[in-house]
Amino acid sequence: MRIFEESQKIIDNKLFYGLFVVLTIPIVSISKQWISSIDKSLTSNLDLVLSASIILVVIFFLFSIKLKTRIDNEGIKYQVYPIHFKIKFIPWSEINKFYIRKYSPISEYGGWGYRINFFNKNKGKAINISGNIGIQLELKSDKKLLIGTRLKEKAEQTLLYYKNKKND
């Protein structure tokens, strides 16, 4: 039995530093404005706390987003945490075709994330964090799902193993 497991986070080190700089600017600006204001009333204090809280919630949410993928003898499991609280499961019996493919996140799906192509329904859904390589699933229900991966070779080897097993 072969198992493929991957966990991708939306924030990597380069993005973290860029996000830190971009989000630090409004916090510093709001703080300077509050410090220099004559009116340090309860309202201005609440504005400062609310603004900083919203920025921190956004940072926390971005850090918590994670795409988990598992391929094993039962089928394919995936989860986008914290959007999916439960793991989504597609058994092999519901899958017609599966393969690795290169795709264009922007032109095919409008970007990264949990995406649906409204202009071309034949593309189906995409769940991706970054990059342009994905595990394409064509289901017996005529639906399509693309799950992004950064581990192309390992995913390809695992899918080949199950394709051969399915053909036996």
DSSP 2-54: --EEEEEES--HHHHHHHHHHHHHHHHHHHHHHHH-S---HHHHHHHHHHHHH
Using DSSP's 3-state secondary structure scheme, residue 164 falls into helix
Segment 16-54, tens digit of pLDDT = 667 777 777 777 776 777 667 665 555 566 777 787 788
For residue 145, what pLDDT is reported? Answer: 93
Using DSSP's 3-state secondary structure scheme, residue 91 falls into strand
Segment 113-160, tens digit of pLDDT = 888 766 666 778 889 888 899 999 999 998 999 999 999 999 999 999
Measure the CA dihedral 29/64/81/152, to 10°. Answer: 110
Q: One-letter amino acid identity for 55? A: I
Segment 85-107, tens digit of pLDDT = 899 999 999 999 999 999 988 88
| In the predicted structure, residue 11 carries a pLDDT above the cut 70 | no
